[in-house]
Amino acid sequence: MKTPYKNIYTVLKTNRFIVIAVLAFSFLSSGIAIWSVFSINNKALNNTFAVNTDGSVIPLKWVAQKENLKVEALAHLDLFHTYFYNIDASNYEKNLEKALWLGNSSVDNLYRQKKADGVYNRLLQYSLVQKVLSIESQLDLQSNSYTFQSTTIFEINRGTVVDRYELISTGNLIVVDRNFPKNTHGLLITNYFEKSLKKLTNEN
């Protein structure tokens, strides 16, 4: 007795269903795998680990990483502008040396330019006292360049005359290795530029 052959169209439909099912399952498996990798990567970026004294691994949460970065960046900018502009004949060398650790060659170039222009010689010659009164900085931490703009109010005491100035400076911040005590925040100022300087009157 001969075995009856199945209808060719029925066979093709069955094969097509199997192929579609296999493809759908493959896409679904790939999607789940990609999502799992993405989820694990996010968790890894938001966590770090420390080894306890007994050898166990302790997960540590990076709490509000951007907020911590903002606090560090503002403190870094405040420290730099204080060192760089709060100077007198007795401390300018020490303060400028500390300031140069907080920025790259753009800060060093500005320092050399001021030195060539005789800024620090006049400080010594006339016993000037340059005192920072306030520092306000705006940050953009959304981009990779971490741009900032700082407004520094300082006064120059010439003995009988005291003049006040407003300096607006701009630049970028990059993350570097911390260096205690020379660069405790682990940030470096780049592309530093004194955008404007104006003398303030009593009306200001």
- Please name the residues in contact with 187: beta carbons below 8 A apart, sequence gap of 6 or more: 72, 73, 76, 102, 173, 174, 175, 176
Averaged pLDDT for residues 3-9 = 60
DSSP letter string over 141-199? -SSTT-EEEEEEEEEEE-SS-EEEEEEEEEEEEEE---BTTTBTT-EEEEEEEEEEEEE
Picking from 182, 192, 186, 109, the residue whose alpha carbon sits closest to that of residue 147 is: 192
pLDDT digits (tens, 9 = 90+) for 174-193: 999 999 889 999 999 999 99
Task: Report the b/e string of 107-126 with b at 16+ CB within 10 A.
Answer: beebbeeeeeeeebeebeee
pLDDT digits (tens, 9 = 90+) for 89-128: 999 999 999 999 999 999 999 999 999 999 999 999 999 9
Give phi and psi for 147, each to the nearest 5. -80, 155
Q: What would the two tokens of residue 138 be? A: 């705006």
pTM for this structure?
A: 0.69
Q: How far apart are the first and last CA of the chain?
A: 111
